């Protein structure tokens, strides 16, 4: 086990995912400045009224986007390895915990499942008109690379964080992408109907 500074938020960071964060509280400014000075990671964990969850993702500051005169920061972070929160600790201005790594089971996804997940991701890009670059299909954590490029709920992302099988995660991501395609098509159809006031243009 090792002690890690924690940043509890109402969002979930997946391995390989990049997210912008606005750092405004003094204690988290201290945490981020310490990580920058030591080239160290912190732990991003989901927290709400029910408390801090017992799984999280190590995060590294990939870029400092803006420094404000009052100490606030806009940063871009990148998700690293997952961890298990073994015990919350104290003694610092920010949250800390004893953590241990989460290791995947030896259960890789097969090429057919990978191909299908990449295909449905391409369909989603087409339906939404997105220019987001698809991930490398040979990525050892392709499930996270795909999931990190679409908008998912915190509950869905936590489910992926807890899953120890890459094979199963690819299946889950495929299902989530299919749901996203259906939702995007509904939105597009609604927009098309709205553009014609719900009527067929006979012009």
What does 21-39 look like in DSSP terms, one character per residue? EEE-SHHHHHHHHHHHHHT
Query: Which of 10, 8, 15, 7 shows the shortest CA–CA distance to 147?
Result: 15
Could you tell me whether strands 18-23 and 42-48 are parallel, antiparallel, or unpaired per DSSP bridges? unpaired
92 and 33 in a single domain? The answer is yes
Query: Per-residue pLDDT for 188 more than 90?
Result: no
Cα–Cα distances in angstroms (integers) from residue 77 to residues 65, 98, 158, 160, in the given order: 10, 21, 18, 19
Same-domain status, 33 and 81: yes
3-class DSSP state of 187: helix
Domain boundary among 58, 73, 101: 101
pLDDT at 77: 98
Tell me whether residue 203 is in a domain: no
Whether 200 maps to a domain, the answer reads: no
Q: Which of 53, 75, 101 is the last residue of a domain?
A: 101
Give the pLDDT score at 53: 96
Q: Which domain range does residue 144 map to?
A: 111-195
pTM of the model: 0.89
User: 70 with 134, same domain?
Assistant: no
Residues 114, 137 contacting (CB under 8 angstroms): yes
User: Does 90 lie in the same domain as 6?
Assistant: yes
Q: Are residues 14 and 74 in the same domain?
A: yes
Pair (6, 92) in one structural domain: yes
101, 125, 145 - which closes a domain: 101
135 and 185 share a domain?
A: yes
pLDDT at residue 30 greater than cutoff 50: yes
Query: Do 131 and 90 belong to one domain?
Result: no
pLDDT at 105 over 80: yes
- Give the pLDDT confidence score for residue 58 in this predicted structure: 98
Burial class (CB in 10 A: 0-12, 13-18, 19+), 57: buried
Is the same domain home to 28 and 75? yes
Cα angle: 128, vertex 132, 135; to 5 degrees:
125
- Do 125 and 38 fall into the same domain? no
What's the Cα-to-Cα distance from 43 to each of 24, 49, 98, 127, rounded to whole Å?
17, 19, 11, 35
Asked whether residue 169 is domain-assigned, the answer is: yes
Q: Is residue 92 part of a domain?
A: yes
Res. 191: pLDDT tops 80: no
Number of folded domains that form the chain: 2
Number of helices and strands in the chain (H, E) = 5, 6
* Confidence at residue 125, expressed as pLDDT on a 0 to 100 scale: 95
Burial of 83 by CB count in 10 Å (0-12 exposed, 13-18 middle, 19+ buried)?
A: buried
106 assigned to some structural domain:
no
Residue 59, strand partner residues = 42, 79
Closest by Cα among 161, 156, 9 to 83: 161
Same domain assignment for residues 88 and 137: no
66 and 141 co-located in one domain: no
Per DSSP, which regions of 10-95 are E strands? 18-23, 42-48, 51-67, 73-89
């Amino acid at each position: 086990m090792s002690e890690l500074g924690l940043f509890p938020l109402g969002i979930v960071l997946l391995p390989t995912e990049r997210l912008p964060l606005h750092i405004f509280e003094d204690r988290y400014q201290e945490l981020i400045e310490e990580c920058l000075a030591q080239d160290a990671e912190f732990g991003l964990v989901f927290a709400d009224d029910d408390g801090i969850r017992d799984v999280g993702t190590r995060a590294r500051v990939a870029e400092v986007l803006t420094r404000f005169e009052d100490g606030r920061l806009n940063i871009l972070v990148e998700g690293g390895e997952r961890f298990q929160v073994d015990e919350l600790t104290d003694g610092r201005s920010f949250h800390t915990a004893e953590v241990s790594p989460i290791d995947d089971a030896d259960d890789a996804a097969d090429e057919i499942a990978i191909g299908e997940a990449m295909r449905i991701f391409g369909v989603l890009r087409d339906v939404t008109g997105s220019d987001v670059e698809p991930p490398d299909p040979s990525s050892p954590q392709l499930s996270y690379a795909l999931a990190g490029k679409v908008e998912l709920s915190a509950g869905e992302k936590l489910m992926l964080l807890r899953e120890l099988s890459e094979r199963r995660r690819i299946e889950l991501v495929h299902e989530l992408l299919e749901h996203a395609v259906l939702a995007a098509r509904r939105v597009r159809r609604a927009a098309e109907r709205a553009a014609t006031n719900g009527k067929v243009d006979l012009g």
